[in-house]
Amino acid sequence: MIKKVQETGHFLLLLARDFPRRNLLLAALAGTLIVTVYLSPGDNKIQPILIAEPITIALDSAPTVKEENHLQLIWQEHLVGSGDNLSTLSQRAKFSAKDVYKISSSPNGKSLRNLYPGEKLRFGANDTGQLIELHYVKTPLESQVFIRQEDSFVAETRVREPEIILSYGEGVIEDSLYLSGKQSNLPDKLIMEMADIFGWDIDFVFDIRPGDSFALLFEDRFIEGVKLSTGNIVAASFTNRNKRYQAVRYTNKKGQSNYYTPEGLSMRKTFLRTPLDIFRISDGFNLRRKHPIHKKIKAHRGVDYAAPRGTPVYAAGGGKVTEAGYSKYNGNYVFIQHGQTYITKYLHLDKKKVRKGQTVKQRQIIGTVGSTGYSTGSHLHYEFLINGVHRNPRTVTLPQARPIPKTDRLEFDLAVSPVLAQLAEYKAARQLATIQNNTTSAN
Ligand SMILES: [Zn+2]
């Protein structure tokens, strides 16, 4: 289990580089997480379980790799470095230019003309040193294999499906939000995904409190016992200020995957809770707040999201742009009407990306964060109105997106109940292990 910690730690670094724009949010989240998952002494009692029933499409097909006849061949493996090509690698492996030419001029040999650093070539020779097989390993999952037949080579593609193991992770959020250098032992990807899943109900910047906790059941992908990557969250629970939210992943007949409550309601709502890629938020919804510009109490009827200039602003929901203009107070602004009932307003934009009358989809970029109009710094001022009345965008109850259709309900229940049961089982086992451990250490 300790080994696993190191692996995930490494993975975390890689991902952090992939998501530079989200680093701030990540740092904020990661810094708050104490993940007890891989470290708890009760770990040996909880073994990962291979999923028996297909939950995602990836699980449907069994591994297709064929047994290779390694016994008769002597293998060499060469990693493609920068500047390498088939010739340089073959020379290094000491095979004749003639064989190499035969392979590269074969119908499927074209792919060998563009080798990329990090890929591998495996040369298999018989005991007289003749090249019998060449494996072009593009990824751990995909290889192109060239096999000698008489005096030429035939090619085939070998694709392997990773073995998917369900892993469990849990954590408690503590108060050292910005101070703590502690890192979560869960991959960043999972933390991001969790924020996405629960982000419709919970504001991950404003609403998180010390003592909030979560539990995740997620996929780990393995090839020959070696961990390849972390896959999707299949079930999760998040307890925010003593209110528990649960989500489970479900893939319908069309192959579309979404997260639902155990009751089959979509986690996704018809409005985004926060209409931008969040970095930080400076101020909440407070009707008695002192406005920084006017230096007096001015009713603040929205929420201000401080964010760097240029941060994309999304349409919180699908609708029609009723206003897109400029005024002395609002700066560049966009108003969107959503059906008969809802209006959302976006002020102080640096740039508008939509025109009056235009139809927009949820999450479509309608502008960028700026500081135009009466504004002290770069931020988005966002308002949410129901039947013309301002509501707090952070706490207003948002209408649900489409639930699981009645016709799919039975199938949904059959698919998600075992997963939810497993999550509950892991959680209970972990709690028991913690109690036992505390009892033991007390003695
Ligand atoms: Zn404001």
Asked if 314 contacts 348 with a C-beta cutoff of 8 angstroms, the reply is no
Domain of residue 252 covers: 2-56+163-260
* Dihedral pair phi/psi, residue 206, rounded to 5°: -90, -35
Q: Are 210 and 228 part of one and the same domain? A: yes
Tell me what the pLDDT averaged over the chain comes to.
77
324 and 233 share one domain: no
- Listed range (170-179, 316-325, 353-362) with the worst mean pLDDT: 170-179
Q: Is residue 174 part of a domain?
A: yes
275 shares its domain with 364: yes
The SS3 call for residue 148 is strand
Buried b (16+ CB within 10 A) or exposed e, 293-329: eeeeeeebbbbbbbbeeebbbbbbbbbebeebeeeee
pTM: 0.62
**What local confidence, expressed as pLDDT, does residue 17 receive?**
31
Residue 441 pLDDT grade (very low, low, confident, very high; cuts 50, 70, 90):
low
> Ligand 1 centre from 303 Cα, in Å?
6
**CA 270 to ligand 1 centroid distance, Å:** 23
C-alpha 139 to ligand 1 mean position (Å): 49
CATH number where 96 lies = 3.10.450.350
Q: Mind listing the pLDDT tens digit for each residue in 239-259?
A: 988 999 999 999 998 898 999
Q: 170 in helix, strand or coil?
A: strand
Phi, psi of 150 (to 5 degrees): 60, -110
CA-based nearest residue to 155, from 122, 114, 115, 108: 108
CA 306 to centroid of ligand 1, rounded, Å: 10
Phi, psi of 202 (to 5 degrees): -120, 135
CA-nearest of 225, 196, 249, 193 to 58 is: 249
Q: What are phi and psi of 436, to 5 degrees?
A: -60, -40
Q: How many domains does the chain have?
A: 3
pLDDT digits over 372-395, tens only? 999 888 889 999 999 999 998 888
For residue 350, report the distance from its CA to the centre of ligand 1, in Å.
15
Ligand 1 centroid – CA 208 distance (Å): 22
Q: How far is the CA of 253 from the centre of ligand 1 (A)?
A: 45
**Total residues found in the chain within this entry:** 443
For range 70-77, the mean pLDDT: 80
Instruction: Return d(Cα 350, Cα 344) in angstroms, integer.
Output: 18
Q: Between 38 and 429, where is the model more confident?
A: 429
Establish if 432 belongs to a structural domain. Answer: no
CA 374 to ligand 1 center in whole angstroms = 9
Q: pLDDT band at residue 442, thresholds of 50, 70 and 90?
A: low
Query: In this structure, how many other beta carbons lie within 10 angstroms of the beta carbon of residue 192?
Result: 17
When computed from its CA atoms, the radius of gyration of the chain, rounded to whole angstroms, is 27
